[in-house]
A and B are shown apart, each in its own frame.
Chain A
């Protein structure tokens, strides 16, 4: 772990490269070794993350740490490694094939500006699998999968990351004598750095296209977005930004328990099932939650199960609450003791309960559902008749409050306490302000079925 006193003469181990004669991979790796020698990094603090393909074999020839992962995903591992330990120097070696299958990760790493260095070993085809075309194969080029010449346009990965947040971008040839200098600069860059290194696959791309060093360099000189250093920018590095944010959060309570000690007493001596059925976006779930909280504050056990569509603010929203003097295992409801129906969207979801509900059960509805038949005691909440406001967003809250007030299922003080302990002050205040209207509404109800 200690930095050696003697300079490190090579970051290569004794193993010989396995590549075909003339393959560009070995040339680039030698230059990477040269760059590392200049940087004199502690090999323990250096991780070479290799992708898949012939280039994916590369990490085995270095005496640093190595992470050899899945095809195209090297940048995700590198991101995780850097985030977990920002001290580490993380260098990704990936092919043009890897850039194709994992391009999404390259873009997002650039956008985040995570402090890793990506070397794209761009030999314009898949070497390992037999010379198929890749996202960087030039238009017209012959490969195993483009025998008539590639009809697709190549991806300019260097320009793409330049435009999407990278800190340092270079493009050039594997033969370029200045490559080690640029590798050093890239690795020393705080944020995301990428080098698009063009090279020869002597097994496939070269013979299939009569390709050579001269043609490669010629092509490089004609790329629209240019070659050499394409981009240098100073932007906050992602890992540092996250840790700075974390430092500001330090010491705040971590997901604290919210105990609800018993303060009230409720006359619930058996399991009571309460169903609140309204429209999504009508705050049904959060209002229903108050029943459970009030129940627990009254020494009961409570559960709540919600049913809603994938859209948040349209369709039905049905909450099923159980209150019980003993522990509740199953959170489902067979037949409600109290059903509150507030919106047409929910009728379909709860209509099947109505024939099953017995005379001791309660059915709270707004006047529009007064015609629905059931043996349960029907209570019509008629805001108009009571001369009170019935805003859509408060309907769930007001109906629940009215139900509790009328049935005496739970003490109102427990309900008020539930509002104060669970809701943000502004919302709690707004909700509690509706309680005078709720009282007016309940005052209108016939006392006989209370």
Chain B
């Protein structure tokens, strides 16, 4: 039983290093800076590169470039920096770049409160770039999960070749926690699937300078192996709508298929992404839902409520995007009342409402009542508040 006393930033950095991250570029911002400091200190030891970029645009830009140069890349920032990442998030989606982005949320809007905790970026990270195409987002709710979900983020980035966000906040990053070393989960991180050298046969669609088709998706949700610069293939990476070769096109059939691919490679594989901890109690008609730091208060409230003999179920959502619909359906089964706790004005509650309503229509059952427990002044949601809201409604 050996324990360590560690903060989330260290756990994230360790998760990244253990996942094989060898490139980091980012710009200092509270409360994400500790991750930059860890990577600047540690990456050279593994032969990797860490750059303090001139701004966030350069930070994520260098990361995207580095991936095409063969690196496994990560960057970290907070809300204001995500704003500057926006256009390049789209580039990483379009160019199918495996990239891990840590968003250490702070209070917004704008500069907001640099050292103040918030969960205000939940919809922003999902819809933060033009076009509306999906990304993946994970939210750890403990320091040990900061480690394991960072590994998971690297794994999913390679699996789906897309940006994967790890959404945390100031409390998660800088608060110290005791972790039993044995409980760190060594989530497997897959190797990059690199396009193999061409075989003897030649596809008639190949152009002379090409030995494989980087953007030919058969079927449409299939993720192609990545061809990196300097490897056996000539590769074209492009921000523009492109054909199977990577040349610009406006052909509606080809562009439509590309865009369909960008969506369905993720949306059709939610079963590989869905993650959460459902703690169901028989006979409970109330379900608490939370994620990130707020889930810790929820779990505390849950154990108090149960110790007092009450019946309550709880769900910690670990994969926020895409919405883990199957998991939510399972959690909502038989539930009459849902309390969703967030440090925002109900950004994720709306997703839960949608799932619950769809569920209700499908099953021809009345939807549960769905309430928010929301704080936006920077204060943490306290365990007592779950109980107060719950008891208030029980009447």
Query: Cβ of A327: which chain B residues have Cβ within 8 Å of it?
Result: 178
- Complex contact B296–A330 (CB within 8 A): yes
The answer to the question of B121 belonging to the interface, with a C-beta cut-off of 8 Å to chain A, is no
Q: How far is the CA of A119 from the CA of B181 in the complex (A)?
A: 53
- A422 CB → nearest B CB, Å: 9
Stretch at the interface among A30-38, A43-51, A225-233: A43-51
The answer to the question of B174 belonging to the interface, with a C-beta cut-off of 8 Å to chain A, is yes
Mask, A1-31, CB within 8 Å of B = 1, is 1000000000001100000000000000000
Stretch at the interface among A210-218, A302-310, A404-412: A302-310
- Complex contact A251–B30 (CB within 8 A): no
The answer to the question of A329 belonging to the interface, with a C-beta cut-off of 8 Å to chain B, is yes
Evaluate whether A88 and B297 lie within 8 angstroms (CB atoms) in the complex, with A255-B10, A305-B175 already known.
no
- Complex contact B68–A81 (CB within 8 A): yes
Q: How far is the CA of A14 from the CA of B210 in the complex (A)?
A: 13
When C-beta atoms are compared, the residue in chain B nearest to A245 turns out to be: B44
Evaluate whether A70 and B45 lie within 8 angstroms (CB atoms) in the complex, with A82-B69, A302-B5 already known.
no
Stretch at the interface among A72-80, A147-155, A388-396: A72-80
When C-beta atoms are compared, the residue in chain A nearest to B295 turns out to be: A329
Query: Cβ of B17: which chain A residues have Cβ within 8 Å of it?
Result: 254-255
The answer to the question of B380 belonging to the interface, with a C-beta cut-off of 8 Å to chain A, is yes
The answer to the question of A66 belonging to the interface, with a C-beta cut-off of 8 Å to chain B, is yes
Q: How far is the CA of A253 from the CA of B44 in the complex (A)?
A: 11
The answer to the question of B124 belonging to the interface, with a C-beta cut-off of 8 Å to chain A, is no
Stretch at the interface among B57-65, B259-267, B342-350, B357-365: B57-65
Query: Cβ of A88: which chain B residues have Cβ within 8 Å of it?
Result: 69, 229-230
Stretch at the interface among A259-267, A353-361, A365-373: A259-267
Mask, A239-265, CB within 8 Å of B = 1, is 100110111111111110111111000
The answer to the question of B42 belonging to the interface, with a C-beta cut-off of 8 Å to chain A, is yes
- Complex contact B230–A296 (CB within 8 A): no
The answer to the question of B281 belonging to the interface, with a C-beta cut-off of 8 Å to chain A, is no
- B78 CB → nearest A CB, Å: 12
Q: How far is the CA of A64 from the CA of B38 in the complex (A)?
A: 37
Mask, B55-80, CB within 8 Å of A = 1, is 10110011111111111010000000
- Complex contact B55–A334 (CB within 8 A): no
Instruction: Give residues of chain A (180-229) contacting chain B, Cβ–Cβ below 8 Å.
Output: none
Instruction: Give residues of chain B (198-216) contacting chain A, Cβ–Cβ below 8 Å.
Output: 207-209
- Complex contact A81–B66 (CB within 8 A): yes
When C-beta atoms are compared, the residue in chain A nearest to B293 turns out to be: A331
Instruction: Give residues of chain B (1-37) contacting chain A, Cβ–Cβ below 8 Å.
Output: 1-6, 10, 13-14, 17, 23, 25, 30
- B359 CB → nearest A CB, Å: 29
The answer to the question of B48 belonging to the interface, with a C-beta cut-off of 8 Å to chain A, is yes
- B4 CB → nearest A CB, Å: 5
Instruction: Give residues of chain A (272-294) contacting chain B, Cβ–Cβ below 8 Å.
Output: 289, 292-293
Stretch at the interface among B188-196, B235-243, B250-258, B319-327: B235-243
- Complex contact A85–B70 (CB within 8 A): yes
Query: Cβ of A248: which chain B residues have Cβ within 8 Å of it?
Result: 44
The answer to the question of B247 belonging to the interface, with a C-beta cut-off of 8 Å to chain A, is yes
Q: How far is the CA of A49 from the CA of B238 in the complex (A)?
A: 10
- A438 CB → nearest B CB, Å: 23
Evaluate whether A67 and B237 lie within 8 angstroms (CB atoms) in the complex, with A246-B49, A293-B5 already known.
yes
Q: How far is the CA of A327 from the CA of B299 in the complex (A)?
A: 12
Query: Cβ of A76: which chain B residues have Cβ within 8 Å of it?
Result: 53, 57-58, 61-62, 65
Mask, B363-391, CB within 8 Å of A = 1, is 00000000000000000101110000000
B57, B69, B171, B240: the one contacting A305 at CB < 8 Å is B171
Query: Cβ of B329: which chain A residues have Cβ within 8 Å of it?
Result: none
Query: Cβ of B25: which chain A residues have Cβ within 8 Å of it?
Result: 80
Residue in B114, B176, B209, B300 with the greatest tally of chain A CB atoms within 10 Å: B176
Query: Cβ of A250: which chain B residues have Cβ within 8 Å of it?
Result: 44-45, 47
The answer to the question of B283 belonging to the interface, with a C-beta cut-off of 8 Å to chain A, is no
- Complex contact B300–A329 (CB within 8 A): yes
Evaluate whether A63 and B65 lie within 8 angstroms (CB atoms) in the complex, with A259-B4, A302-B5 already known.
no
- Complex contact B230–A87 (CB within 8 A): yes
Query: Cβ of A260: which chain B residues have Cβ within 8 Å of it?
Result: 2-5
Residue in A79, A87, A300 with the greatest tally of chain B CB atoms within 10 Å: A79
Mask, B86-119, CB within 8 Å of A = 1, is 0110010000000000000000000000110000
The answer to the question of B234 belonging to the interface, with a C-beta cut-off of 8 Å to chain A, is yes
- Complex contact B235–A65 (CB within 8 A): yes
The answer to the question of A104 belonging to the interface, with a C-beta cut-off of 8 Å to chain B, is yes
When C-beta atoms are compared, the residue in chain B nearest to A289 turns out to be: B176
- Complex contact A310–B114 (CB within 8 A): yes
- Complex contact A59–B236 (CB within 8 A): yes
The answer to the question of B220 belonging to the interface, with a C-beta cut-off of 8 Å to chain A, is no
Give chain B's interface residue range (CB within 8 Å of chain A): 35 or more
Q: How far is the CA of A327 from the CA of B303 in the complex (A)?
A: 12
Query: Cβ of B207: which chain A residues have Cβ within 8 Å of it?
Result: 13
Query: Cβ of B171: which chain A residues have Cβ within 8 Å of it?
Result: 305, 331
- Complex contact B48–A67 (CB within 8 A): no
The answer to the question of B307 belonging to the interface, with a C-beta cut-off of 8 Å to chain A, is no
Q: How far is the CA of A65 from the CA of B234 in the complex (A)?
A: 5
Q: How far is the CA of A68 from the CA of B68 in the complex (A)?
A: 12
Instruction: Give residues of chain B (289-336) contacting chain A, Cβ–Cβ below 8 Å.
Output: 296-297, 299-300, 303
Evaluate whether A104 and B54 lie within 8 angstroms (CB atoms) in the complex, with A68-B237, A81-B229, A249-B45 already known.
yes
Q: How far is the CA of A304 from the CA of B64 in the complex (A)?
A: 36
The answer to the question of A105 belonging to the interface, with a C-beta cut-off of 8 Å to chain B, is yes
- Complex contact A63–B235 (CB within 8 A): no
- A187 CB → nearest B CB, Å: 16
Q: How far is the CA of A303 from the CA of B296 in the complex (A)?
A: 12
- Complex contact A255–B176 (CB within 8 A): no
Q: How far is the CA of A398 from the CA of B34 in the complex (A)?
A: 28
B62, B177, B383: the one contacting A79 at CB < 8 Å is B62
Q: How far is the CA of A261 from the CA of B2 in the complex (A)?
A: 5
The answer to the question of A84 belonging to the interface, with a C-beta cut-off of 8 Å to chain B, is yes
- Complex contact B2–A259 (CB within 8 A): yes
Evaluate whether A68 and B238 lie within 8 angstroms (CB atoms) in the complex, with A57-B248, A85-B229, A306-B174 already known.
yes
- Complex contact B48–A108 (CB within 8 A): no
The answer to the question of A328 belonging to the interface, with a C-beta cut-off of 8 Å to chain B, is yes
Query: Cβ of A44: which chain B residues have Cβ within 8 Å of it?
Result: 230-234
Q: 11 more A-B contacts (CB under 8 A) besides A76-B65, A242-B49?
A: A14-B208, A45-B230, A52-B239, A67-B238, A83-B51, A84-B23, A250-B44, A328-B177, A329-B142, A332-B382, A334-B384
Interface of A toward B, CB cutoff 8 Å? 1, 13-14, 43-45, 47, 49, 52, 57, 59-60, 63-70, 73, 76-85, 87-88, 104-105, 107-108, 239, 242-243, 245-255, 257-262, 289, 292-293, 296, 300-310, 327-332, 334
User: Could you jot down 22 A-B contacts, CB within 8 Å?
Assistant: A57-B248, A60-B247, A67-B229, A69-B64, A70-B87, A73-B57, A76-B57, A76-B58, A77-B64, A80-B65, A80-B73, A84-B70, A85-B70, A85-B229, A104-B55, A105-B61, A254-B42, A254-B46, A259-B4, A304-B175, A308-B115, A310-B115
Interface of B toward A, CB cutoff 8 Å? 1-6, 10, 13-14, 17, 23, 25, 30, 38, 42-49, 51, 53-55, 57-58, 61-71, 73, 87-88, 91, 114-115, 142, 171, 174-178, 181, 197, 207-209, 228-240, 246-248, 296-297, 299-300, 303, 380, 382-384
